[in-house]
A and B are shown apart, each in its own frame.
Chain A
Amino acid sequence: MSVTATTTAVASTARRKVLPGFGLTMGYTVLYLSLVVLLPLSALLFNSTGLSWAKFWDVATDARVLASYRVSLSTAAAAALADAFLGLLLAWVLVRYEFPGKRLFDALIDLPFALPTAVAGVSLTALYANKGWIGSWLEPLGLKVAFTPIGITLALMFIGIPFVVRTVQPVLEELDRDMEEASATLGAGRWRTFRKIVLPELFPPLLTGFSLAFARGIGEFGSVVFISGNMPMRTEIAPLLIMSKLEQFDYAGATAVALLLLLISFLMLLVINTLQRWVRKTSR
């Protein structure tokens, strides 16, 4: 393997000593990324260039399309935010405490990934529809969950929670306790220590978890269509519009909507990732 050869190379840009394997891992990363992700995705780009700019603009700024973007983005953001808080709580409890049933607790976190999204959608609708276990309790209170944006948010929270827990958990596990101890020795209260010492360390993975849950939420289809009610302008999500365009054999229109959606989430991820790296740098 070429690894030994690369070890002798001297880095000019890095302050750090150079570790081996940059060429190998970078090359492989780029290649695999291109083959599995970028090449197929570029098909999307080329397919929608079949549209003229004017037509593309027409499709993308249609009132119904705009409304669906609004629904998708706002519910995904709300769900990711809620997941960030709840996920931190779950991860904290899982890493720091011992209690009976902890292993089962831990194992349950991943199940939203394993459950086919459609099943998740059906189950959640069964729970929250006005004759469901929870829905029938909420109905007298005048709170409607199923077939409203709240329902969509709930479904997305279900889909997204493992992202947050599983990105925070490993970092929390590896977190050095010495700093916390030092802080405690210096007389800081537990809450203050948490805020000043632990939280800054956890902020990057929290942001990652948030952004992943958010990105996943924007594109989610299977679980949402059951609980959203799909009312145009109100609870219709963008991926559903893509589907309905395909149903008219309008591939170009569908890819145009998809491309714009992709662009929005890509930019958001980019901003969050940059922010995250910046936070890390300043906290060092």
Chain B
Amino acid sequence: MKKRIKKGLLTGFTLLLTVGLTACGNSTNSAGNPPAEATNSGSTTAATTEPTKAPSKDPVELLNVSYDPTRELYENYNKAFSAYWEKEHGQKVTIKQSHGGSGKQSRAVLDGLEADVVTLALGYDIDALQETGLIHEGWQSKFDHNSSPYTSTIVFLVRKGNPKGIKDWPDLLKEGVEVITPNPKTSGGARWNYLAAWGYALDHNNNDEAKAEEFVKELFKHVPVLDTGARGATTTFVERGIGDVLLAWENEAYLSVKELGPDKFDIINPSESILAEPPVAIVDKVVDKRGTREVAEAYLKYLYTEEGQKIAAENYYRPTLESVKEEYKDKFPEIKLFTLADKFGTWKETQEKHFNDGGVFDKIYVPGK
């Protein structure tokens, strides 16, 4: 009996190996080649550029791992940067994009997705990469404005004509108002929503934490559906017609009005909101391995130039460069904005206090804890 099984194991193994190898042969042919080329060209670039600063003509590839709402932004920006880089350095650069939920994208990089740059929704997701050594410490001071070339804020999207008369945060707690926001535990954008409400409540209650908690708790009682991501929440509000007000990124709100019907929705700016700073960073370990540091750095720096800022503004992100700010000031109304550091400290502290298991957000839903 045992002998037979052994024999079977052996034959099976050979069979599997043959099939497996042919399969792998196929897949590496299509999968292995582009990255292999990229690494080759990458390392030669590094070798030639570092000592002499002479531009290399080998084409180079970058992978930008980003979060969901930046698709349109980077689609435009990548074209602009490629053109700029080729003109200045005579080198062709192709930027590959990957989009998804911010936390999920960060995890993918953590687990081995070879991103040259990450452009995520919150610092917490980049901090996680720093903790494993993929990104050097002090990434946040590497580029201007806390490494956030563009900013955004949280606004309200309401149905046309604002039938429920929603003007500011307290109106969300009015009887019969339904608020749509994604789940802060699974969505980066939703964390900004939550923090904006919390910060407002702090400001209007003499920084009383208990009152702020009460306010946020009450707010989430008005939430009928917790989608997992920002775009899921937008769909619930827009397509399903559920809820009276959607808490959304400013850029998302403008985009959904543009894409889904200017005649159906209005954007309401609350009196006070949070300055959302989606940060960018270079993944040091990857660029060093692939020899793409120079172009990756230039890629992120270019976001701060006038052209980069204009593209951001066109895609409804608030620019940080004064001249562009001035130019687009009609587009972005003045709202009193507070930063995360003003009210909450670092992302790590915020995450642990509010969103981790057993944190404040969980208490809203779990009775007796």
Where the two chains meet, the residues of A that have a C-beta atom closer than 8 Å to any C-beta of B are 1-2, 5-6, 9, 22-32, 35, 59, 62-64, 122, 125-126, 129-132, 146-147, 225-226, 229-233, 240, 243-250, 253
B240 in contact with A22 (CB, 8 Å): no
B240 in contact with A125 (CB, 8 Å): yes
Dominant secondary structure at the A interface:
helix
B225 in contact with A147 (CB, 8 Å): yes
A2 in contact with B7 (CB, 8 Å): yes
Nearest neighbor of A131 in chain B, beta-carbon distance: B241
B242 in contact with A31 (CB, 8 Å): no
B239 in contact with A126 (CB, 8 Å): yes
Known contacts A32-B12, A63-B368, A230-B225; 20 additional CB pairs below 8 A are A5-B7, A6-B4, A22-B5, A23-B3, A23-B8, A24-B8, A27-B12, A28-B16, A59-B357, A122-B235, A126-B240, A147-B225, A225-B228, A231-B224, A245-B357, A246-B103, A248-B185, A248-B355, A249-B103, A249-B107
Contact A231/B186 with A23-B8, A28-B11 known, Cβ cut-off 8 Å: no
Q: How far is the CA of A253 from the CA of B185 in the complex (A)?
A: 14
Chain A residue contacts of B355, Cβ below 8 A: 248
Mark interface residues in B336-369 (1 if CB within 8 Å of A CB, else 0).
0000000000000001000111000010011111
Mark interface residues in B4-45 (1 if CB within 8 Å of A CB, else 0).
111111111101100000000000000000000000000000
Nearest neighbor of B226 in chain A, beta-carbon distance: A230
24 A–B pairs (Cβ distance < 8 Å), ordered by A: A9-B4, A23-B3, A24-B8, A27-B4, A27-B12, A28-B9, A28-B12, A28-B16, A29-B12, A31-B9, A31-B13, A62-B357, A63-B367, A64-B362, A130-B242, A147-B224, A226-B227, A229-B225, A231-B226, A231-B365, A240-B186, A244-B183, A246-B107, A247-B104
- The 10 nearest A-B residue pairs measured at CB: A27-B8, A23-B4, A28-B12, A23-B8, A232-B365, A27-B9, A244-B185, A247-B103, A129-B240, A229-B225
A230 in contact with B107 (CB, 8 Å): no
Where the two chains meet, the residues of B that have a C-beta atom closer than 8 Å to any C-beta of A are 3-13, 15-16, 101, 103-104, 107, 110, 128, 183, 185-186, 224-228, 232, 235, 239-242, 351, 355-357, 362, 365-369
Among B15, B104, B232, the residue within 8 A (CB) of A28 is B15
B228 in contact with A243 (CB, 8 Å): yes
Nearest neighbor of A244 in chain B, beta-carbon distance: B185
Chain B residue contacts of A2, Cβ below 8 A: 7-8, 11
Among B16, B357, B369, the residue within 8 A (CB) of A31 is B16
Min CB–CB distance B139 → chain A (angstroms): 17
Nearest neighbor of B364 in chain A, beta-carbon distance: A232
Chain A residue contacts of B13, Cβ below 8 A: 31
Dominant secondary structure at the B interface:
helix
Contact A27/B365 with A32-B12, A229-B225 known, Cβ cut-off 8 Å: no
Q: How far is the CA of A250 from the CA of B359 in the complex (A)?
A: 14
Chain B residue contacts of A129, Cβ below 8 A: 240-242
Among A63, A245, A246, the residue within 8 A (CB) of B366 is A63
Chain B residue contacts of A23, Cβ below 8 A: 3-8
Chain B residue contacts of A244, Cβ below 8 A: 183, 185-186
Chain B residue contacts of A29, Cβ below 8 A: 12
Interface centre among A26, A231, A248 (most CB of B within 10 A): A248
Min CB–CB distance B66 → chain A (angstroms): 17
Chain B residue contacts of A233, Cβ below 8 A: 365-367
B10 in contact with A27 (CB, 8 Å): yes
Min CB–CB distance A163 → chain B (angstroms): 26
Among B11, B16, B225, the residue within 8 A (CB) of A35 is B16
Among A5, A30, A122, A243, the residue within 8 A (CB) of B9 is A30
A6 in contact with B5 (CB, 8 Å): no
Interface centre among A23, A30, A130, A146 (most CB of B within 10 A): A23
Q: How far is the CA of A132 from the CA of B242 in the complex (A)?
A: 11
Chain A residue contacts of B15, Cβ below 8 A: 28
Q: How far is the CA of A126 from the CA of B240 in the complex (A)?
A: 7
Nearest neighbor of A221 in chain B, beta-carbon distance: B228
Q: How far is the CA of A222 from the CA of B279 in the complex (A)?
A: 29
Interface centre among A28, A29, A225, A247 (most CB of B within 10 A): A247
Among B356, B365, B368, the residue within 8 A (CB) of A248 is B356
Chain B residue contacts of A22, Cβ below 8 A: 4-5, 8
Q: How far is the CA of A2 from the CA of B359 in the complex (A)?
A: 61
Nearest neighbor of B235 in chain A, beta-carbon distance: A122
Min CB–CB distance A83 → chain B (angstroms): 26
Chain B residue contacts of A122, Cβ below 8 A: 235
Chain A residue contacts of B10, Cβ below 8 A: 27
B224 in contact with A27 (CB, 8 Å): no
Interface centre among B16, B110, B351, B365 (most CB of A within 10 A): B365
Chain A residue contacts of B242, Cβ below 8 A: 129-130
Q: How far is the CA of A229 from the CA of B240 in the complex (A)?
A: 12
Min CB–CB distance A12 → chain B (angstroms): 9
Min CB–CB distance A136 → chain B (angstroms): 10
